Structures are given as structure tokens and as C-alpha cells.
Structure 1
Amino acid sequence: MVKTEPTPRTEAFDLYWRFTAERHNSFEKRLAGEPGPWSDDEIIQTYKFCNVFRAADRVSQYLIREVAYHAEPCSFHDRVFQIVAFRTFSKIETWESIRLLLGRHPTLEDLADGSFARALDEARATNGGLYTGAFILCATDAYGQRLKHRNHVELFRHMFLTGSLDDDVLQACSLEEVFLLLRRFPLMGDFMSYQVAVDLNYSELINFSENDFTRPGPGALRGIKKCFVSLGDYTPTEIIHWMVERQVIEFDRLGLAFNGLWGRPLHAIDAQNLFCETDKYCRVALPELTSARTRIKSRFNPRSDPISMFFPPKWQLAASATELAMV
């Protein structure tokens, strides 16, 4: 049976590709050390948008370098725990505080004897919030704890001490299976399970294609609704794969220069995130396309501290791409 093709909403659909090319172009200019502003697009100049490639964002960069590939002696059991725990908070300051208090990256032994929980307690008392504001996490007291972070400590204990998530991840046969292993636990949900599965896949622990599986989050669903009049016979998940498959065609059609991440094209996680960013962009560019969100909350304020780009070595990007500093 032949599927009915999706029907794009031309203006928003084209903005998806134009935003992608311009946002990535500004990233490349900034990385090359050019002075700002790095884009002539006033919306990109004014508001904060994630990078086109998820792995290039500051928090993901920290995770890849300092968690997935840190050089401390580390079993695969501890590495899985560290990646899951870091992404749960997704706040660099929280992880740095834990490392400072423990003198190293946390281990499953720290989780078992209470050291990890006490470090979180102290970090919360010192720093205030432990969590990023970028994600809306499930905050139920699924494990009977009054404090959100204490429920997450119990979640980790469930995953790794009474459960066997670390071993199960190593035995998984697909990215979807990793997602489903995570999804079975309370407090995770579709969005966080997908994000953590991708993070685990950055490491040397597993190695699946990011195009094998995707799961659109709420922001991506809003972006898809704005970019298409009709999805035809396609599901939102299939729309994301459709975008990945059409990227060369669409960039060429619009006359847009886009060479990817040193030759690495958009993958499903990137296309999914770009729908979320397009939803944000359209709140200003096409305000008539209404959704539950009507404004962009965060304005762009470039940070002064440099970031050194480091991507998973297994991606085999150009050598010069893995150690470039961006201010």
C-alpha cells in the first residue's frame, strides 16, 4: 500500500531548513573565532537556540568529554550510572559539585553507601537548584521521598542496585531496546528515556546508529504541527526520519550551504531537536501559527568561558574537529 505523503506548510517548512543552515553557520563562525554577531538573522541574534547538532551543545559537550570519556579508572557499571545520573540533572554545576565533594566521579559504591545522596544534599544546600531549566522532569514522589533529588537517588538505586540496568544496556541489540530498558522505570518517561539512550550511545559502551530510532518530545510535536498542514499517512516519528532522508534535497532546493558537522549529516536526534527549535523560532517569525507556547523565554547572552569541542572518536570526524575551542 502506497502511503499518502505529508503536506508541508510551505513558509514554516522552509524556515526549518533556513533556520538550520543559518544557526549552524553562526556556530561555525563563532568556532572559527570571528567576532560577533555571528548571524544577520535578528531572531537568532536576539534569542537563545540550541545548536543544530545536539552533540555540539554545551551540556552535551561536557557529558561527552567529562562523563562518557573521562580518564579516571571506571568500570562499565559505573560509567552507565554516571551517564544516566548526569543527564537526569543536566546541570554542569551540579556534577562539578558532586565531583568536588567526592574527590572524583561518583560510583555505584557511593550510591550504595549514601555518599552520592549526601553529596547531592550538600550541593543543593550550597548551589540551590540541582536541575537544568531546559527539561520538564516528572516530579512525582514515586519512591516516597519528599525531595525531588532524593526520589531520583532512589530511582538510581532501583536501576543499578536492585535492578541490572547496566548489564541490560550492554546486552541491548538496538537503540530502541536501550530506550525501552530506561522507559520501564518510574520518573523516566518517553522524553528522558530517549535523551539518556542517545547519551549512552555517545560512549564506547554501545554503538547504534542514531537513525535507527527516534521519539519526538513535546516541543518537536509542536514544531511538526507548525511545519505541516497534514502528515498524510506518516506518524510524527516517521516525519522525523523523512526529514533526515530529504535533507540534501531540501538544502539544494533552497540554495542553502550546509556541510553538516565536518561532514556528518543531520541524524534523527538532530532533526527531532530542530523541530523544537523551529517551534521556538516561529513564535517570533510566524506568530499566527499558535501553540501552547507564545514567546521565547531565553535571550542569547554569549558566555565568556571557552568550550573545547570534543565528539565521540567512533564518529571519525576530521581530527581538527575534535579539539577546537569556541568562546
Structure 2
Amino acid sequence: MPLATRDPDQGQLPFEENRVFRLAGRRVQVTEVFWSYWRLAAERQAIFYRRAAGELGPWTSDPILARHRFTNAYRASDRVSQYLLHHVIYDEERDALDTILRVLLFKIFNRIDTWEHLVDRVGQPAAAGFGTDGYAKALDELLDRGRRVYSAAYIMPSPRRGADRKHRDHLSLVEMLLRTGVLAHLERASSLRSLYERLCEVPSFGPFLAFQYAIDLNYSPHFDFDEMDFVVAGPGAVRGIRKCFADTGGLDAAEVIAAMADTATEFFEMTPTPTPFRDLWGRPLQLIDCQNLFCEVDKYARVAHPEHSLGGPGRIKQVYRVDQRPLTLGYPPKWGLPLSAQAPSCLGAAV
């Protein structure tokens, strides 16, 4: 029996009036933002493939997607995730402790230029001999030049370890996690949930960052957890769910995300889109991808459906600017996709 069915009490209505469904066994009521969720996913993935093929723009007729910055439908396809895969995890073979250290150090700042500056000034990060002084001085250089060291993608709270600058507190935190064996303890996680729970115990990480870091660590060869096993909804995803659903039928945020992932094929078939959804070389949308898409439809609805503002932000802050640098693509080898992070391929323009 399909997990998503039209409620029989609703009868046969025109597409835009389809608002009541049985989803994961619950009667739910959706808004027009719900249909934008599926259109956004399909069109953003189409843009990805057009750009990866080297097509010349414009890559979409959707004015909101053309003007504003949105992440890819698949999290692992985003530029920062691709850089993490190629230059932090799979650039050479490393043991688990070194890999965990490198992933967390990269993700705390989440900026490619910050990582490259650290590597240039201090060398490739490794557990042996790791200390805060060299890295702190390197980041001081950037800040003294008026450069940013943190990405704007996440709000990074300070762990408050007594340093005079936040980046020094974070470096001190990483060193503490290494010296006290916390990083080695992460290696022994038995599931994505347990990895997440161990990361939640780290001061200042919190549920959202802990889950994002668990996903990033799980890209590596030292973890092999199914991305369909567990999900945590971030604040943006919760807002997106509230905009998509007038009534979730009692499903909590994680259950809604799971139901969306399970029924994606059915809803893509039901939703008129300019371009049919094309998955990632056979890999369906995972829980983390559906979670991220709720964050993105929260932004999209600020322009497309302002009546669903819910009192939150009323505009999309980031304007899209074309990055002409080609992007090499490659995914965790364990996924079995045709493009591997161990030997990434340059398929076309940036995506």
C-alpha cells in the first residue's frame, strides 16, 4: 500500500486544490507550499545537471531560483561538501582519528579559503602534534586583514573556553577533544544516531550542528551508516514543515521528513514540474536531503508564498552569483555512484 494517498473524502479535485492526504498512515493537510517543495527539488536538481553538463545559462526559467542562492537537492553535491570529500577526506588514505579531526576542523569554520589558508600556513592537519597556536595565529592573520574565517551557512556559537577570539576558543575545543579521547570515542559509534548523540555532548555543538557533523563524518570510509536511519530537523526545516503543512496529523518533524523521503517518487509523479525529477545517478533523496529541502522551501516561500511568513524572515538574503570555476564531482565510493571522490571528475561549470 502506498504511504501517500489522496484522502477519499476529498474526491477528485483539480491539482492545486489537492490539500488532504493520508501520509504514513495519518490524515494530513498541506498548503500550496507543499507543492513548491517538490517543484523546487526537481528544478534545483535539473539546474545541477545542466551546469554539470557545461550548458550555458540561463539554467532555469524560475525567477526565484535564478536570482537567489539555494543549495542543491542533494547535500553532497554542494560545493563545500564536494571540497570536503575531495580535499579533506579522500585526498589520501588516513586513519579514523586523523579523518575525524580533519572533518571537524574543516566543518567548524566551513569555509574553503579558511581551510586552504590553514594548510598553507601550518600544513595538513593531523592528530600527531596537533596544537592550537599555529592555527590560531594563521586565522589571526586573516582577521587582521579584514577577512572572514567562518561561513555564514551556520550560526557558530562559541564554546567559551576563555580565549580572546572565538576561533581560538574553537581550536582549543578541538585540541581538548583530541587530548581527552573524545574524538577516538566517536570512532566507536555503532549507528548514525549514536554518533550524533556523542557529538551532542560536545560543548556548543547542539542538536543541529551535531547532526550535520555526523553526516559529514559518515561520508568518510571509517563510518558506514545508512542515511535513511535517522534525521534531526533543524530550525529552518521546522519552519519549512510549518509552511508546507496546515496539519501534520500528529507526525513530528522527523516523521514528516521520513514520510517525504519514503513517498518522494509518488509526489514527484503527482506534481506538475517543468522538468521531471532526476535522481543522483540512481541514488534517491535521503533523509538529510529532504531535511535540507525543507530549509530551502522555507526560503523559497518568502518570495513565492509571502502569506505563509509565520512571522519569520521576509526575504532571501543571499543573491546568486555565478562562480565560473569548474567543479569536480565525486561522491563517497561506498555509495557506488559513477563519480567517486577518490578520483573526482570535472564535468562542466560550477553547480
Q: Where on the TM-score scale, by shorter chain, does this alignment land: which range?
A: over 0.9
Moved more, 148-157 or 314-323: 314-323
- Pick from 134, 142, 150 the counterpart of residue 131 of structure 1: 150
- SS of the aligned residue for 2:246 comes to strand
Amino acid at match of 2:65: I
Moved more, 223-232 or 315-324: 315-324
The residue number in structure 2 matching 1:121 is 140
Structure of higher CA gyration radius: 2
- SS of the aligned residue for 2:307 comes to coil
The residue number in structure 2 matching 1:159 is 177
CA offset digits 1:114-160 (Å, max 9, x no partner):
3333333334334621100111111352x122211111012112211
- SS of the aligned residue for 1:108 comes to coil
Amino acid at match of 2:40: F
Amino acid at match of 1:135: Y
- Pick from 201, 217, 223 the counterpart of residue 200 of structure 1: 217
Deviation, structure 1 residue 75: 3.2
For 1:290 and 1:157, how far apart are their aligned partners in 2?
A: 42
The residue number in structure 1 matching 2:115 is 95
Amino acid at match of 1:52: A
For 2:294 and 2:47, how far apart are their aligned partners in 1?
A: 18
* Residue 236 in structure 1 maps to residue 253 in structure 2: yes
The residue number in structure 2 matching 1:302 is 322
Amino acid at match of 2:268: F
For 1:154 and 1:187, how far apart are their aligned partners in 2?
A: 13
- SS of the aligned residue for 2:140 comes to helix
* Residue 43 in structure 1 maps to residue 64 in structure 2: yes
The residue number in structure 2 matching 1:258 is 277
Q: Which stretches of structure 1, 4 residues or longer, exceed 4 Å deviation after superposition?
A: 319-322
For 2:37 and 2:113, how far apart are their aligned partners in 1?
A: 32
For 2:338 and 2:94, how far apart are their aligned partners in 1?
A: 28
Deviation, structure 1 residue 320: 8.6
Q: Which 5+ residue runs of structure 1 have no aligned equivalent?
A: none
For the structure 1 residues 126 and 98, does the alpha-carbon distance in structure 2 shift closer, same or farther, using more than 3 Å as the test?
farther
For 2:335 and 2:146, how far apart are their aligned partners in 1?
A: 36
For 1:108 and 1:89, how far apart are their aligned partners in 2?
A: 18
The residue number in structure 1 matching 2:76 is 55
Deviation, structure 1 residue 187: 1.2
- Pick from 84, 91, 101 the counterpart of residue 104 of structure 2: 84
Deviation, structure 1 residue 306: 1.1
Deviation, structure 1 residue 170: 1.8
The residue number in structure 2 matching 1:185 is 202
The residue number in structure 1 matching 2:45 is 24
The residue number in structure 1 matching 2:18 is none
The residue number in structure 1 matching 2:163 is 145
- SS of the aligned residue for 2:130 comes to helix
The structure whose residues are more often helix, as a share, is 1
- Pick from 294, 303, 311 the counterpart of residue 275 of structure 1: 294
* Residue 172 in structure 1 maps to residue 197 in structure 2: no
Amino acid at match of 1:17: W
Deviation, structure 1 residue 313: 0.9
- Pick from 325, 330, 333 the counterpart of residue 313 of structure 1: 333
Identity %: 38
For 1:4 and 1:250, how far apart are their aligned partners in 2?
A: 16
For 1:114 and 1:146, how far apart are their aligned partners in 2?
A: 13
For 1:91 and 1:169, how far apart are their aligned partners in 2?
A: 23
For the structure 1 residues 6 and 172, does the alpha-carbon distance in structure 2 shift closer, same or farther, using more than 3 Å as the test?
farther
CA contact (8 A) 1:24 1:52 kept: yes
CA contact (8 A) 2:279 2:285 kept: yes
For the structure 1 residues 296 and 3, does the alpha-carbon distance in structure 2 shift closer, same or farther, using more than 3 Å as the test?
closer
Q: Which 5+ residue runs of structure 2 have no aligned equivalent?
A: 1-22
Deviation, structure 1 residue 185: 1.1
TM-score (norm 2): 0.87
TM-score (norm 1): 0.93
The residue number in structure 2 matching 1:326 is 348
For 1:268 and 1:46, how far apart are their aligned partners in 2?
A: 27
CA contact (8 A) 1:108 1:160 kept: yes
For 2:267 and 2:65, how far apart are their aligned partners in 1?
A: 21
The residue number in structure 2 matching 1:226 is 243
For the structure 1 residues 140 and 80, does the alpha-carbon distance in structure 2 shift closer, same or farther, using more than 3 Å as the test?
closer
